[in-house]
Chains A and B, each alone.
Chain A
Amino acid sequence: MTDTSNTNNTCRVGNVNLHLRRAGRGSPILFLHGAGGISEWTPFFNDLSQTHDVWAPDHPGFGLSEDPSFIKSMSDLAMFYLDFMDTYAPKGGFHLVGHSIGGWLAAEIATRNTQHIRSLSLISSAGLRLEGVPMGDVFMWNAEEAVKKLIFDPNVQEKRLNAQPTPEEAEIIVRNKFTFAKLAWYPRLFNPELKKWLHRIKVPTQVIWGEHDGLIPKEYAKLWANALNTNTCTVLSQCSHSPANEKPAETAQLIKTFLGKHAE
């Protein structure tokens, strides 16, 4: 596998500067990150970019992107990405891949307009509520609890716990948390009005989950698959809430296969 050196860019949507990582050639993927943001060009991105043109922006208020005050909710963020796609979507549109609140975001965008969307891959997605199966209270967890809930492999947990963030990284962790709270504190990690409109999404969709997801239990995979009326639903073993980091090769392969099937 070649090492794709991703280019760090700034792109502009309206008056807002977004930090964008982008690499690879092939049909374009727009990756919508979860609440933890994107800290580096991981093996997952590298893998996908062998066969795809991968766009991975930091959402407004996350990472190195600007934090415009007019974005107050997930609904605003979805509308913002419609602007983004109007400006940047290649001919034929993007394949959307969203993780956690990024999956929720992808679904919000697609219920509004799929003009620039070819397909939807939701990984461990927030956005819906399954009555009787509560999500974990991510805002109540301390750093150690969060790592243990969100990552399956104890060795990886340990490595993560011993990592020392630089001051710049620490600042980004705080920004990401603030924006996460702004978007998802209440209703906690879901939009009560979303499910009833998911039928409007007519593009191909798939659902990917970790069997041991400590934040959004695997029962949600089925909920999403049913709500989106898709049979493409994969639950990865020995994996928690971060399939793209915990099972990078498998997750990338699932996406590549799915996109291959639905290439125009």
Chain B
Amino acid sequence: MKVLNFTLMPYRSMDVPASKEHRSAWVVLPNTFYDPEKGAHDYESYIDLLAQSEPLGFDGVCVNEHHQTAYGLMPAPNLIASALIQRTKKIKIAILGRALPLVNNPINIAEEFAMLDNMSRGRIIAGFVRGIGAEYHSTTVNPYYSHERFHEAHDLIVKAWTQPGPFPWEGEHYNLNYVNLWPRVYQQPHPPIWIPSQGSIETIEWAADPSRKYPFLVTFSAREAVLKNLLAYKDQTQKYGYEAQPSQLGWAAPVYVAETLEKAMSESRSAIEALFNDYLTLPMEMLLPPGYTSVESLKKIIATKKAIGRAGFGGPNQRQSLERLMELGTVLVGTPESILNQVEQVKEKTNLGNFVSMLQFGTLNNELTQRNQAMFASEVMPKIQKMQ
């Protein structure tokens, strides 16, 4: 298996009690909560942390894109990827991903990935996402056209990477007279495309299509959902008449490892609970703006009375404890053996080939993050990498 190292780059100094006066840590949390001095320190620490991944033996590092939130300070993840290209020599750099529908000209994304691919001599993995619901509020892109824009932008970018330019693009959402990338991509036919997702059958059908076979990465989900989605992907590949390769299946989860379960829990508790309860506060209206999901999916959510009561994630009545998150398998916290055991269980059932460990999360400070990362890299990762 391959193991990649990921951080969301949260703003760790967020004044959590004061932030609770606002609807969410997304879109509307005043940026006066951001102290540039502390933020600059966070950037430096996170880049150092990810750069250490290469000597520690990781197969790759991951960054991702989020806008107008304390949850993640990477509105432009390619800037971080570019810095990491300079700090590493061999490992993969996965941008998981860029939110295609949020830009007005997808060629901007095609160009930036092409630059990174050249600058890294082919170490880039290109993740394609739609962005989360809140980002349709912050960018004002119409969520009703999110799926359409994603698919058209994807088709345009892949064509720009693989067909000689210049050529015109005559689309529904994008119209360009000259598509002619300088530079061309370094990897042939193009950088690997991954699809990080919390899973929907439409996404799985699309990603697993024989013309694409895009690796599917289930992010921040309970174990049950991870298994369900990875198995659904495998089923889908069989329906298409082929077997999914392990490299097509991935899982991303927060991990905290220590000598004992008690130590792991006490050291990670406040940071993990902050991530899920304070940084991921998303009322339904932000999480699922109209059109972001299909009418059918939204009807299902509304039909479930329970779901109406739930104001998205992180509402006051649904604070998730560390114990609960561990029980659900959303986070992996414990001794090296217990973490290996949990990864092994998913490996046995799905034969997944990529594991993305998030070793810094929420408010976890540098000291604990370093300790977590070092122990994970020495005691857990080599055994995951040996899993066949």
Residues from 137 to 156 in A contacting B, C-beta threshold 8 Å: 139-142
Chain A contact residues: helix, strand, loop or mixed: helix
Contacts of A178 in B (CB 8 A): 144, 290-291, 295, 298
Contacts of B137 in A (CB 8 A): 139-140
Contact with B along A210-250 (1 / 0, CB 8 A): 00000000000000000000000000000000000000000
**A232→B260 CA distance, assembly (Å):** 77
* Contact (Cβ within 8 A) A140 B286: yes
* Contact (Cβ within 8 A) B285 A140: yes
**Of the residues A141, A167, A170, A180, contact of B285 by C-beta under 8 Å:** A141
Contact with B along A168-196 (1 / 0, CB 8 A): 00110111011011100110100000000
**Of the residues A140, A173, A182, contact of B291 by C-beta under 8 Å:** A182
| Nearest CB of chain A from residue B125's CB, rounded to whole Å | 32
Contacts of B86 in A (CB 8 A): none
Chain A, residue nearest B140 (CB): A186
* Contact (Cβ within 8 A) B289 A139: yes
* Contact (Cβ within 8 A) B284 A181: no
Question: What is the interface size of chain A, counting residues whose CB is below 8 A from a CB of the partner?
Answer: 18
Contacts of B311 in A (CB 8 A): 142
Chain A, residue nearest B305 (CB): A164
Residues from 86 to 128 in A contacting B, C-beta threshold 8 Å: none
* Contact (Cβ within 8 A) B295 A175: yes
Contacts of A170 in B (CB 8 A): 299, 302-303
Residues from 289 to 326 in B contacting A, C-beta threshold 8 Å: 289-291, 295, 298-299, 302-303, 311
Contacts of A177 in B (CB 8 A): 290
| Nearest CB of chain B from residue A188's CB, rounded to whole Å | 7
| Nearest CB of chain B from residue A251's CB, rounded to whole Å | 28
**A182→B291 CA distance, assembly (Å):** 8
7 intermolecular pairs with C-beta atoms under 8 Å apart: A139-B285, A140-B28, A140-B137, A170-B299, A182-B144, A185-B140, A185-B289
Which 3 A-B pairs have CB atoms at the shortest separation, nearest pair first? A181-B290, A182-B144, A185-B142
Beyond A140-B23, A141-B285, A186-B142, 15 extra complex contacts between A and B, CB < 8 Å: A139-B137, A139-B285, A139-B290, A142-B311, A170-B299, A170-B303, A174-B290, A174-B299, A180-B290, A181-B289, A181-B291, A182-B144, A185-B136, A185-B289, A188-B140
